[in-house]
Every structure is written in structure tokens, then in C-alpha cells.
């Protein structure tokens, strides 16, 4: 099963 990414890896803290 593919691993689930975390959204934080794509979006920065505003």
C-alpha cells in the first residue's frame, strides 16, 4: 500500500 503523505509537506505555515 502506498504511504500517505502529510499536507504540511506541501503547504507552508501562514
Partner 1 sequence: MLESRLEQADLLKKVVEAISGLVNDCNFDCNDSGIALQAMDNSHVALVSMMLKAEAFSPYRCDRNIALGINLSSLTKVLRAAQSSDILTLKAEDAPDVVNLVFESSEKDRISEYDLKLMDIDQEHLGIPETEYAASISMPSNEFQRICKDLMNISESVSIECTKEGVKFAAAGDIGTGSVTLKQHSNVDKPEQSVEIDLSEPVALSFSLKYLVNFTKATSLASKVKLSLSNEVPLLVEYELSGGNSSYLRFYLAPKIGD
Q: Which residue ranges make up the site for partner 1 (CB under 8 A)? A: 1-14
Q: How far, rounded to the nearest angstrom, does the alpha carbon of residue 12 sit from its chain's CA centroid?
A: 10
**Min separation Cβ 8 and partner 1, Å:** 6
Query: Least separation, in Å, of the C-beta of 2 and partner 1?
Result: 4
Of the chain, the end-to-end C-alpha distance in Å amounts to 32
- In the complex, least distance from residue 14 CB atom to partner 1, rounded to whole angstroms: 4
Amino acid at each position: 500500500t502506498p504511504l500517505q503523505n502529510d499536507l504540511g509537506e506541501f503547504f507552508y505555515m501562514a
